[in-house]
Structure 1
Amino acid sequence: MKILSCRSLQRALDRRLYLLLYGPTFASPGGKSVWHFPEKVYAFEQTLRECAESALKSVIGDLSHTYFVGNAPMGPMVIHPAEADQVINSFKRFFFKSQVIATNKFNIGKCDDFVWVTKDGLLEHFPEQAEYLNKMIVS
């Protein structure tokens, strides 16, 4: 039996997979690398969806094999930075659902590492947000 890498979309074919990146991100303590979803600070885009598309495009390049489900985020999460990090105020992180269509490989960049994980893998990477992710994501 061949064990497939967590970097492959050809695993857990009967389950949804979620892309996680490892690297520095907005509001990571001390700018250190952490696991996170593709993200971008909302700046000049006309809509939140355009911002989400831009965030994903910066990581995978061509979006021709992706489909964004709807124009509205599937959920927000309020982030409260650590008390030691008083430079950044609380902020909202919005989640958009997108799907991979007609491909099984992307050239993922702008990160130190990446994985495709199942919902269970998400809960392992983000145990402090497990309750929220369980409510937001349908298996």
Structure 2
Amino acid sequence: MQRSCKSIATSLITRRQFSSTATKSDEKIIASVLFERLPVVIPKIDPVVYAFQEFSFRWRQQFRRAYPDSFLKKADNRGQGDYNIDYVPAPRVTEADKMNDKKSLQRALDRRLYLLIYGHTYGASGEEPVWHFPEKIYESEGTLRKCAESALKSVIGDLSHTYFVGNAPMGHMIMPPKENDKELSTLKRFIFKSQVIATNKFDIKKGKDFVWVTKDELLEYFPEQAEYLDKMIISL
């Protein structure tokens, strides 16, 4: 005999309530945000790629079609007028690069930068502040994505210059309880990606300090998780 829809629903609700109770007592869920600034200028061409492009150009020049000089002169005159502006590219090396100012978004313009906060975090041993991503423990938010948005908002105050990439986390880490942890709870940290949109400065309102770092620099802040983060973060 088939079970009624009402009995099935009651069973699912009971299981969900039991699972929710177990989660609260045995583990904590944390939403973290990998806040990323994309490259501002085109990265330099790899020497091998540059050598191949130069070879290809010289090879094509050998077999290119010869045009009359009169035609080439007409082509050179196209686009000339009273509104010609000489294009001067922006410098790749900025004052922030020269000063090694890691609080500025105007550094490493051809690389991706990531925001790290210095302060107290969940799961850290002792009471000393550590470097970490913006994060928040999951409480009453409707989804983990909403929790991640709250975490980032508590750091920068306004999300109008941010873009969250998807609704699902890009990775997660499970941290078993430490021996000196009084609560003896397992931490499950889910990492979401968000990107900087059309701004070069944020008012960081949380933590004792902050830095904008490249991927290579970021891995130095997390020696224990460096191998995992290196695989998770795809960056130049």
TM-score (norm 2): 0.57
CA distance in 1, matches of 2:220, 2:174: 20
Query: RMSD in angstroms over aligned alpha carbons?
Result: 1.3
In the alignment, what sits opposite 2:128? 32
Structure 1: 4+ residue segments shifted above 3 A? none
What is the number of equivalent residue pairs in this alignment? 139
Q: How does 1:1-139 map to 2 (within 5 A)?
A: 2-139=98-235
Greater shift, 57-66 or 21-30, is seen at: 21-30
CA distance in 2, matches of 1:91, 1:25: 11
TM-score (norm 1): 0.94
Q: Structure 2: which 5+ runs fail to align? A: 1-94
Report the secondary structure of 1:76's partner residue.
Answer: strand
Report the secondary structure of 1:52's partner residue.
Answer: helix
Identity between Structure 1 and Structure 2 (%): 71
Shift of 1:130: 0.9
Question: Which structure has greater helix proportion?
Answer: 2
Contact (CA 8 Å) 2:119, 2:209: kept in 1 or not?
yes
CA distance in 2, matches of 1:58, 1:97: 16
Contact (CA 8 Å) 2:178, 2:184: kept in 1 or not?
no
Note the alpha carbon deviations across 1:5-40, whole angstroms, 9 max, x for none.
Answer: 100111111111111000111222223211010000
Report the secondary structure of 1:40's partner residue.
Answer: strand
Asked which structure has the greater CA Rg, the reply is 2
Greater shift, 49-58 or 21-30, is seen at: 21-30
Contact (CA 8 Å) 1:23, 1:113: kept in 2 or not?
yes
Shift of 1:134: 1.1
Q: Structure 1: which 5+ runs fail to align? A: none
Contact (CA 8 Å) 1:69, 1:97: kept in 2 or not?
yes
Note the alpha carbon deviations across 1:98-137, whole angstroms, 9 max, x for none.
Answer: 0001001001012100001111111100011011001100
